[in-house]
Amino acid sequence: VLDIDASIKPLYGRQEGAERGYNPSKPGRPSHALHTFWVGNLRLVLDVQVSCGKQHSSVHAKAALGRLLDELGDGPQGRRPALVRGDSGYGNEGILLTLEERKQPYLLRLRQTKNVQRLVAQQFTRQDWSRPDNQGCQMVEAQLQLHGWSAKRRVVIVRQRIKGGIARERRV
C-alpha cells in the first residue's frame, strides 16, 4: 500500500524556497510543504517532494505521484502498489484522474461537503448494509459525482456503532 500525505515543516532563518503559507502550528512562519510517498506498513519512504510553504495542497503532488507510479511500473517484478491510500486532501479530480489513467486502485477519504453529507444521510435508510465486522463497522456502496468531477465514482460509506447504541457515520 502506497500512502500519500502532506506535512508542513516550519523553518527558522533563511532557507531556499521558504515562504509564508498554510502553517497550522506556527502561523506566519515561513515553511516548506513535504509531500511524502511511503510504503504503509513498512514506513519505507519512496519519495518526498519538497515545495515552498504555499504549495501545500495535493494539486502540487499530482506530478510527483504520477512520476512515481510510472517508475514503479507494472514490470515483471510487480512493484506497482496494490493500493494508493490518502486523506481527504487527495480526493480531487486531478489526483483521481492521475490514478485512474494508470488503472491504479485507490482509497481516498472525501471531504464532508454538503453533497457528501447528503449522500451519507440517504444511505442510512438502506437495509443492505454489510454485516458488522469485529469492530462493529458496517459498509455500503453508492455512486457520487461531486462538483468538479468529470464522472460518477464509487464511494464506500462506513458506519460504526458507538456507546449508547447509536449508529453514526464514521468515514467516507
Q: What is the pLDDT along the chain (172 residues), one digit of tens a residue?
A: 999 998 888 877 677 667 777 767 777 788 888 889 999 888 899 999 888 766 676 777 888 899 999 988 866 666 889 999 998 888 888 899 999 999 999 999 998 999 999 999 999 889 999 998 888 899 999 999 998 889 999 999 998 877 665 555 555 5
Buried-state track 56-88, b at ≥16 Cβ within 10 A, e below 16 = bbbebbbebbbebbeebeeeeeeebbeebbbeb
Contacts of 100 (CB under 8 A, 6+ apart): none
* CB atoms near residue 104 (< 10 Å): 18
Grid cell of 116 as nine digits: 457528501
Say what the pLDDT of residue 41 is. Answer: 83
Q: Residue 35, class by beta-carbon neighbours within 10 Å (0-12 exposed, 13-18 middle, 19+ buried)?
A: buried
Name the strand (E) or helix (H) holding 116. helix 114-123
Distance CA 145, CA 143 (A): 7
Provide the strand spans (E) within 64-164.
84-86, 106-108, 137-144, 153-161
Provide the strand spans (E) within 40-83.
44-52
